[in-house]
């Protein structure tokens, strides 16, 4: 356990020393400033005759747009931040002096995973918290079911972060990064196919999307999060870009959790067997 925590501490310290946190804070501040300005002007320009329900739909769309951007930035962080943490250190030989210490190889992988997860979660909290705070302060609106939606987005980031770390135990940095983004792309396109297939009542297209979601459940988690954070009227009408036509089932959450466990187990196993 002490080895795991020592690796976690080193990972966090690395994020601090390499000015990764600084870059994250600056990028986050820039994003929130833009979001705040956009929200301010849009709220100011609201039509006077807008009904309460229309205002609520309008603000919900704006907030979900902000959370969608936060989700996207978190995914980028989840993949890019740890993409070379194992593969890079293996290639450079840095890992040798760590692995000869009385630390389990498993703890090296898990320690790095935990350290990067803390950075990613902190970044997501900053972004999502900023979006929600700005929205609440400027308009008094808060989306519903945040306690379901936000953890689902964090779970999506965790899936990609785990994949990025596990892949690094086996693959080179470039291959690992391409694979992680490739799978994310598969999920994104697969989900689009599923939504369109559902609208067109094309079962084959819908099944393609389902298979894509099983290969990489990230997009389904966002769709599910967005579904829960929208008012029922928007969900029923399906008139928002964030309203899924085909709503992912809760089983996808279980699948994603299992996905993380399996990916992490494989990463631990690959790193444990690897010649360093």
Partner 1 sequence: MTDLVIETRELRKQFGDKTAVEDLSLQVHRGEVFGFLGPNGAGKTTSIKMLLGLVEPTSGSGSVLGAPIGHRATRARIGFLPEHFRFHEWLTGRELLLVHGQFLGMSTRDTKARADALLARVDLLDAAHRPVRTYSKGMMQRVGLAQALLGRPDVVFLDEPTSGLDPLGRLLVRDVIRELREHGTTVFLNSHILGEVEATCDRVTFVREGRTIRDLRLGEVDGSMEVDLRVGSLTDEARTAVARIGRIVEDGAPLSADGPERLRVSISREDLLPELARALVERGIPLYEMRVARKSLETTFLEVMGEDQRPG
Q: Does the protein bind partner 1 through residue 148 (CB under 8 A)? A: no
Q: Does the protein bind partner 1 through residue 101 (CB under 8 A)? A: yes
Binding range to partner 1, per CB under 8 A, among 102-110, 139-147, 157-165, 200-208: 102-110
Check the CA dihedral 53-55-56-62 and report its sign: positive
The residue within the footprint of partner 1, chosen from 2, 48, 201, 232 (CB under 8 A), is 2
The residue within the footprint of partner 1, chosen from 6, 122, 148, 178 (CB under 8 A), is 6
Contacts of 8 (CB under 8 A, 6+ apart): 111, 112, 114, 115, 118
Q: Does the protein bind partner 1 through residue 103 (CB under 8 A)? A: yes
Q: Does the protein bind partner 1 through residue 3 (CB under 8 A)? A: yes
Residue 100 class from Cβ within 10 Å (0-12 exposed, 13-18 middle, 19+ buried)? exposed
Using CB under 8 A, count the residues that bind partner 1.
Answer: 23
Q: What is the spatial distance between Cα 252 and Cα 51, in angstroms, rounded to a whole number?
A: 36
Q: What is the spatial distance between Cα 36 and Cα 51, in angstroms, rounded to a whole number?
A: 23
Q: Does the protein bind partner 1 through residue 76 (CB under 8 A)? A: no
Whole-number minimum distance, CB 158 to partner 1, in Å?
25
Q: Does the protein bind partner 1 through residue 20 (CB under 8 A)? A: no
The residue within the footprint of partner 1, chosen from 104, 138, 145, 269 (CB under 8 A), is 104
Binding range to partner 1, per CB under 8 A, among 14-22, 45-53, 124-132, 259-267: 14-22
Contacts of 22 (CB under 8 A, 6+ apart): none
Closest by CA to 209, choosing from 233, 232, 188, is 188
Q: Does the protein bind partner 1 through residue 239 (CB under 8 A)? A: no
Binding range to partner 1, per CB under 8 A, among 13-21, 25-33, 41-49, 189-197: 13-21
Q: Does the protein bind partner 1 through residue 1 (CB under 8 A)? A: no
Whole-number minimum distance, CB 239 to partner 1, in Å?
50
Region of 163 (left: φ > 0; alpha: ψ -120 to 50; beta: rest) is alpha
The residue within the footprint of partner 1, chosen from 23, 29, 33, 92 (CB under 8 A), is 92
Binding range to partner 1, per CB under 8 A, among 27-35, 99-107, 225-233, 239-247: 99-107
Any alpha helices (H) in the chain, and if so which ranges?
Answer: 2-17, 20-44, 52-80, 87-92, 94-99, 105-139, 146-168, 173-199, 203-215, 218-228, 232-237, 251-273
User: What is the binding site for partner 1 (CB under 8 A)?
Assistant: 2-3, 6, 9-10, 14, 17-18, 92-94, 96-104, 273, 275-276
């Amino acid at each position: 356990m002490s080895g795991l925590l020592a690796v976690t501490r080193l990972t966090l310290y690395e994020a601090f020393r390499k000015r990764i946190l600084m870059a994250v804070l600056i990028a986050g501040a820039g994003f929130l400033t833009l979001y705040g300005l956009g929200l301010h002007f849009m709220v100011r320009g609201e039509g006077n005759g807008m009904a309460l329900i229309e205002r609520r739909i309008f603000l919900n769309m704006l907030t979900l747009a902000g959370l969608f951007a936060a989700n996207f930035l978190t995914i980028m962080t989840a993949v890019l931040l740890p993409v070379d943490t194992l593969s890079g250190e293996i290639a450079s030989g840095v890992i040798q002096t760590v692995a000869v210490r009385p630390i389990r190889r498993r703890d090296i992988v898990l320690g790095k995973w935990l350290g990067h997860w803390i950075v990613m979660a902190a970044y997501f909290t900053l972004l999502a918290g900023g979006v929600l705070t700005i929205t609440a302060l400027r308009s008094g609106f808060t989306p519903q079911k945040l306690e379901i939606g936000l953890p689902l987005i964090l779970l999506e980031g965790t899936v990609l972060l785990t994949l990025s770390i596990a892949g690094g135990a086996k693959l080179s940095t470039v291959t690992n990064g391409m694979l992680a983004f490739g799978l994310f792309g598969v999920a994104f396109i697969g989900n689009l196919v599923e939504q369109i297939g559902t609208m067109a009542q094309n079962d084959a297209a819908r099944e393609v999307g389902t298979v894509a979601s099983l290969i990489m459940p990230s997009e389904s988690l966002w769709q599910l999060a967005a579904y829960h954070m929208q008012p029922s009227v928007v969900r029923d009408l399906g008139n928002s870009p964030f309203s899924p036509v085909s709503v992912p089932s809760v089983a996808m959450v279980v699948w994603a959790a299992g996905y993380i466990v399996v990916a992490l187990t494989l990463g631990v196993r690959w790193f444990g067997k690897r010649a360093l």
